[in-house]
Structure 1
Amino acid sequence: MSKNQKLWTKKEDLFLEEQYGQMTFQRIGEHLNRSKESVNKRIIRLNLRNEENCLRKKWTMEQDTFLKENIDIMNNREIGNHLGKSPSSIATRIKILKLVRKETMRRWTEQEDEYLLKYYGYKSLESISKQLQRSVQALESRLNRLGLYGVKAHTGNITVYELARCLQIDVHTIYKWIQEKGLTHKITRAKTRKFIGIEVSAFWKWAEQNKKLLNFSKIPTNTLVPEPDWVRKQRKYDYYNRPKYEKKQWTEEEDARLWYMFYEEGRTQQEISQLIGRSRHGVQRRLNRLRKKSPKKH
């Protein structure tokens, strides 16, 4: 082992074991600030390829459905990044299912790249997706190719949208914390754009002083790495002591986003729940109530 080689920690190994088979090596490496090759070597050393969570597991019905729905708007690499599979695996599955793309994939233009780089971090990916008429997954793939996706990997910070997604809450809650609760942030410039950056370690320090504002039991383990030791204890405490279903009023803006994403963008209830920080059942119940209020809209 080289003297300068960074040793793997128990936390990194745990994250690797949990995400292997769910995320691509590239994505895992971005989260851990390691190269794809380093991740691959660690997987071999931990003998994970002999476990049940091997990447070569069977395709699920949900994965097949996603492939069929996105084959005409995403390339094999973009689909693979979303499903945690290699481009070659996607190509093989396309042949097995006898799927055919309607037309050649639309190439990215300089104007689209300029718009994406200008507003990434300022606007949500959903908003940019609507403007460019490309899927969110296509945007993430393009940002990866431009070397900008996952702001933390380049600046040590994450955007408010990335933080909201990790915490599974609405992005406006993050802005409220910044304005009213003193959440530390920085205005950062990356190439041709600026964005509000939040350092992960600074966020955890703030969170430790504002524990009542978060339900740690709803924050997936190692979503924001490195995760302090006290978070695990707090997660367990909140699981047993916070109400199982905490009341969270729906706003008019959330209703409008929910309706648009479901009926205009055709997103699934599961996708919407992840984007707005609600449970899938909560999304389903809210849709039912909105349908009763406005039966003519659908």
Structure 2
Amino acid sequence: MGYQRWDKIEIQYLIDNFEFKDIEIIAKELNRTKNSVYKKAMRIGLTKRVRRWTEEELEFLIKCWGKYSREKIAQKLNRSSISIKKKAVELKLGPQRISNGDYLTSGDIGYLLNKDPNLIYRWLKSGYIKGRRFGDKKIFQIKPKDFLMFLKNYPNKWDGYKARIDFIKPYFYTSNKCELPSWFAKKIELDEQNNVKRCIV
């Protein structure tokens, strides 16, 4: 593919979006290579300015990681997807897959509950957790609401002290509700008290 001249519309688009969008996305939207976009940006003096994270942005990221996709969070905060990923890693918010969207896997739930994914798989096969098989492989897709129902119906199968509670909490949040159910809060409190007792003994 030979050299393709940049027109005014493309250049303006690059100027308007360079700071906020990943180069890969800009290249795709302009039907150009990443190298072409990067070189043009350097020629016209574009740089990605370092934006400090505000407390409100950090709170939003922590609250929404696990509920929304990385791209949607980036859009809400007017930041690049790469910026969101880097900050999530810095904050140790867990694997990116936890924030992938509408479904969880046995591996995701194993991570959230700090349990062997094979045990989660057996729970799925036994019907403790509602899920549906995906494709020909031994992969289950679990809706977050079904995962939360499992937590409520089988409190004896998970430990609120060992589970990654900060990653689980966002699944309870909806557009009109940002509080945890009483049964969940009580379970966490009870498990923490039991752990303290075990440590004392």
User: What's the TM-score once normalised by structure 1's chain length?
Assistant: 0.34
Could you say which structure has the larger radius of gyration?
2
User: What's the TM-score once normalised by structure 2's chain length?
Assistant: 0.48
Where relative contact order (Cα < 8 A, 6+ residues apart) is larger, the structure is 2
